[in-house]
Amino acid sequence: MSAGSARGRLLIDGRLVPGRLGWRGGRITEIVTQLDAAARAEALLGPVLAPGLIDLHVHGYGGNDPIERLEAMAGALARHGTTAFQPTLFPAVPARLGELAQRVTSCADRLNSGARVLGLHLEGPFVNRLSAGALPVEDLADPSPSALRALLGPSGGSGRGIRTVTLAPELSGAGDLVAELVRCGIRVSLGHSLATAEEARAAARAGASGATHLYNAMRPFHHREAGLVGFSLSDDALHAELIADLVHVGRDAIELALAARGPRSICLVSDALRGAGTGCERFHSRGCEHVARDGAFFHPGQPPRLAGSALGQLAQVRLLVGRGVVGLEDALTMASEAPARALGIENECGRLVLGARADLIALRGDALDLEAAWIGGESQAR
């Protein structure tokens, strides 16, 4: 592995400070922020140097999806600032979904370039049919021990690379599934749900630790029943995902989430679909037409149904900063450190600390152009 160094404004503990960063053997080996006047001036003129972005929830990117073209998807993400990700699979019959997970993981094990796969995210199938959003209702399943066994297979999910499962805690039998998933070392994220705050609290006590795309496909907040939204905002048990394309969630709701929880607990996720990053106006996937509008994809109809984002993580960071919704430091923290904390790997990646992986991005100018990206210290071709 190659060695390297760069000067610029380093994102350290949520703040940009002028400094120098060095790496060797795929790890950060030097962080210098005490600079003389000349070196400080040089660093201030340099790029923003930040941890590579980590996407917990991405269905596809650059014309690719995890099932058909995982290698190409990983490469496209790396070229756009996302250096690690959880390929996210749509629901299917549990046995079929388990087979697909194993297939994607087998492909991930063979990858030797592009964004790193951090395990799979299964968005369902144990979610509420009344809060399915764009998920195919016919592919959802009722929580049961037999359905979970069919999903996880004989290895308890480890051989299938399953790291996160989204489920609705209010469903009958979901509580037992939360406990069993946690026992198997699989992270549980609550979503596509009409759960009350107390049902969400009970799931958190059983080990659930995430909230899937906060606000979307959840019981709306009410002053007499705060629901999963209210619990996610008022309790630190859950690391909440947030889709930041300003279509899925409006500005005021983003500001509320950050005021309540702070950028280290709100994970910016893309929820991008296969057509994201291509500039296409429409594409077909899984038998459905998708039409782009205002940075998101919709299923046509009356009314159109929101299906996913047309923007990757870095594009969403640029959007938030450019619209003045959040500052650059918070936006980058939400897209790197917060997801790492959600997975419990914040000492491995997502932060600029000695010994962490040299998964890095360099952003230049007000437009936040991606000047360079490194994964394990290796430069990614632009």
Amino acid at 318: R
Distance, CA of 20 to CA of 188 (rounded, Å): 38
In degrees, to the nearest 5, what angle opens at C-alpha 296 toward C-alphas 104 and 229? Answer: 85
pLDDT of residue 282: 86
**pTM score, whole prediction:** 0.96
Distance, CA of 334 to CA of 13 (rounded, Å): 12
Active site residue 235: no
| CA-to-CA dists, residue 296 to 78, 176, 264, 370, angstroms | 21, 35, 25, 22
pLDDT of residue 299: 87
Q: Which domains occur in the chain, in start order?
A: 52-348 (3.20.20.140)
Per-residue pLDDT of the chain (382 residues), as tens digits, is 678 989 999 999 999 999 999 999 999 999 999 988 888 988 899 999 999 999 999 999 999 999 999 999 999 999 999 999 999 999 999 999 999 999 999 999 999 999 999 999 999 999 999 999 999 999 999 999 999 999 999 877 778 999 999 999 999 999 999 999 999 999 999 999 999 999 999 999 999 999 999 999 999 999 999 999 999 999 999 999 999 999 999 999 999 999 999 999 999 999 999 999 998 888 887 778 888 899 999 988 778 889 999 999 999 999 999 999 999 999 999 999 999 999 999 999 999 999 999 999 999 999 999 999 999 999 986 6
pLDDT of residue 1: 61
Closest Cα to residue 272, out of 110, 126, 114, 81? 81
Distance, CA of 155 to CA of 139 (rounded, Å): 23
Distance, CA of 351 to CA of 258 (rounded, Å): 19
Amino acid at 4: G
In sequence order, what DSSP letters do the residues of 339-361 get, joined into one string? HHHHHT-TTTSSS--TTSB--EE
List the catalytic residue out of 55, 65, 245, 271.
271
Helices marked H in the chain: 37-45, 66-78, 94-109, 145-152, 174-183, 197-205, 227-234, 251-261, 313-322, 328-335, 337-343
pLDDT of residue 189: 98
pLDDT of residue 382: 61
Contact status, residue 336 vs residue 350, Cβ threshold 8 Å:
yes
Closest Cα to residue 307, out of 63, 75, 59? 59
Q: Is the dihedral of CA 77, 80, 84, 85 positive or negative?
A: negative
pLDDT of residue 322: 97
β-strands 369-375, 360-364 pairing: antiparallel
Q: How far apart are the first and last CA of the chain?
A: 19
